[in-house]
Amino acid sequence: MVGNMIARTLLALSFLGLAACQTVPQQTTVIAPPHANINQLLTVSQFRTPLFYLEAPLYDPEVKEWIPQKFLDDVQKSIDDTINYPYTDTQLRLALSQKLSSTETQQVIDFYQSITGQNILQAEQSFRERVNLSSDSTALASEVIKATLLSTLLHNVFISSADAVISRLDSYECLAIRQIPGSNIGLLMAKRHKVAFMERQVQRSLSNLYLNVSDVDLQAYLQFAQSAVGQKYFKARNEAMLSIGKEFGERVAEAIAPALPNCMGSFKVSS
């Protein structure tokens, strides 16, 4: 609250300063409307699927040992509701339109409508079936993940969401999260090991993502990812997801927060 007030004050002062100087004409930035086929791209490519990988910790056996299932179910619903929040698509459409031409957008659509593209999407959508398998990615699958910037994308979204959730948890005392002896030890440990924990969850999401995809399809996907339009698309996808990362995490945290006071006898200690 105080941080937001200070930020607003500084912003107001900067505008006043610019108005007082009046030495440089102010220009209004006009953002072009999304391309006509951007909506089709979001649908055909199942663009929001990587956001669902935020569910990975909910299936982690270690997490399930010390967090009640009801709370995990509430978190999953919050993630799903946030991903399906209409403004998410609005942000993504604008971000992608600034990076891809209509022609390039159509080329990406054509790939994902191909048999190879459909096989890739099927694998990415069914990640929950393989998230707890212990084997590592094949060399070819690792190349695909690197070329598509998927690991980078997930890292950014996971960390942004973790920061927002931990910040929100700071205002609650959840007994289920502090089963380890010591006041607030669960939350303190979450802060201390946040990066390592989220890196592990990214790894769990990706290790067997393409396990059931043939080498032929993976090679074709890699070729697309390394093509000029593929590189531009995946860079645009990464930047689009990054642009919504912090706000997305905050919406997840706010959606989760109402469940916290009911978490195994926990109680709110501050607002």
Is pLDDT of 51 > 60?
yes
Confidence grade of residue 33 (pLDDT, cut at 50, 70, 90): low
CB half-sphere exposure, 47, CA atoms < 13 A = 27
pLDDT at site 251: 72
Chain mean pLDDT for the chain: 76
Give the E-state strand segments of 70-228 in sequence order: 172-173
Centre a 10 Å sphere on the Cβ of residue 201 and count the other Cβ atoms it contains: 24
> Can you say whether the dihedral through the CA atoms of 244, 245, 246, 252 is positive or negative?
positive
Beta strand 267-268 pairing with 172-173:
antiparallel
Query: Average pLDDT in the 57-82 region?
Result: 81
Residues in the chain: 271
No. of helices (H) and no. of strands (E), the chain: 13, 2
Is pLDDT of 109 > 50?
yes
Comparing 35 with 93, the larger pLDDT belongs to 93
| CA–CA dist 202, 152 (Å, integer) | 9
pLDDT at site 174: 52
Centre a 10 Å sphere on the Cβ of residue 246 and count the other Cβ atoms it contains: 16
Residues whose CB falls within 8 Å of the CB of residue 77, separated by 6 or more in sequence, listed in order: 255
CB half-sphere exposure, 4, CA atoms < 13 A = 1
pLDDT at site 172: 57
Is pLDDT of 5 > 50?
no
CA 24 to chain centre: 39
pLDDT in tens, 216-267: 999 999 999 999 999 999 999 998 887 776 677 777 667 665 555 444 444 4
As given in the structure block, the two tokens for residue 212 are: 């059931």
Give the E-state strand segments of 74-200 in sequence order: 172-173
pLDDT in tens, 149-191: 999 999 888 887 777 767 766 665 554 444 333 334 455 666 6
Q: Which of 19-28, 123-132, 229-238 has the lowest mean pLDDT?
A: 19-28
CB half-sphere exposure, 99, CA atoms < 13 A = 20
| Run of H or E residues at 241 | helix 228-256
Q: For the CA atoms of the chain, what is the radius of gyration?
A: 21
Is pLDDT of 1 > 60?
no
| CA–CA dist 238, 236 (Å, integer) | 5
Per domain, the residue ranges of the chain are: 34-268
Confidence grade of residue 88 (pLDDT, cut at 50, 70, 90): confident
% of the chain exceeding 90 in pLDDT: 35
Is pLDDT of 10 > 80?
no
pLDDT at site 84: 82
Is pLDDT of 81 > 70?
yes
